[in-house]
Homo-oligomer: A and B are copies of this chain.
C-alpha cells in the first residue's frame, strides 16, 4: 500500500553564492541585533562582517579554541554542543537564521565553551570581538538588544535547569518537542514536521537522557499516534496531547 518512504525533511540546498556580500546586507537588517539601525548605519556595520559557507556536519569552531569571533546564522541551522570527558554530549541549542553564537566581547571570555556544528548547509557571518565591542559602544541600541537576547537565553536555560530537576524524561521530551515545533515546525502530510535533521541521540542530548530511553518514549508516543517519525525526523500529529505533557502535571 505504502510506497517506499523517503525523508519528509526538506533538503536545504543553498545555491552557490548565496553567502555573498550582496545577500548579506539584505539579511543583516533582519537580525534582531540590528533591527533599530538606519540603512546607512547598517551599511557601516556590515563592513566589519565576513560571510562563510558551511556544509552539513562542518565544525564551525571547537570547544577550547580561542574565542575571537561573534557569529550570526544567516541561512541554515547550526547546533551548539558541549562534550564531556566521559564522552557524553549536551546539546545546548539549535540555532535558526538570525540568531547569534560564538563569543560576546566579555572579559576573560577567551575560550569557546561549546562546539558549533552546521546541522544543515549554512551561511554564517562573523565579526571580530573587538570590532563588535566598538559597534556596541557606538550603537547603544545594539547593546541593549544583545542584552535582551542574552537575558532571554539565560531564562530559558534556568527553565531547563528547573525541568531537569523536577520533570520526568517523558515530560522533558514533550517539552523540547513543543519548543522545537514552535521554532522549526512546518505543516506537512505527516503532521507538524520539525524541519531539522534530529536523531534520537540528539534529542536525548537536548533533554539529558540516553538515546535508548528517548527511543522508548518516542515509541510510546507513536503507539498513541501522537507523533510520526523516521530516521532523523519527527513530526507531531497531536499537538495538544504533547503540549499537555510538557506542561506541569503531565
Give Cα distance in the complex from A157 to B93, angstroms: 13
**A104–B158 CB distance below 8 A:** no
Find the residue from A88, A90, A249 having the highest chain B CB count within 10 A.
A90
**B143–A84 CB distance below 8 A:** no
Identical copies in the complex: 2
Partner of A157, one of B137, B146, B157: B157
> Within 8 Å CB of A166, what residues of B?
84, 86, 88, 90
Q: Is A153 an interface residue (CB 8 A)?
A: yes
Q: Is A160 an interface residue (CB 8 A)?
A: yes
Interface of A, secondary structure class, is helix
Number of interface residues of A (CB under 8 A): 43
> Within 8 Å CB of A153, what residues of B?
154
Partner of A136, one of B82, B85, B143: B143
The residue of chain B having its C-beta at the shortest distance from the C-beta of A109 within the complex is B151
**B150–A151 CB distance below 8 A:** yes
**B158–A158 CB distance below 8 A:** no
**B161–A90 CB distance below 8 A:** yes
Q: What are 14 inter-chain pairs, A to B, with CB distance below 8 A?
A: A82-B158, A90-B161, A90-B165, A106-B147, A106-B152, A113-B155, A133-B144, A137-B144, A143-B144, A150-B154, A157-B157, A157-B161, A164-B164, A164-B208
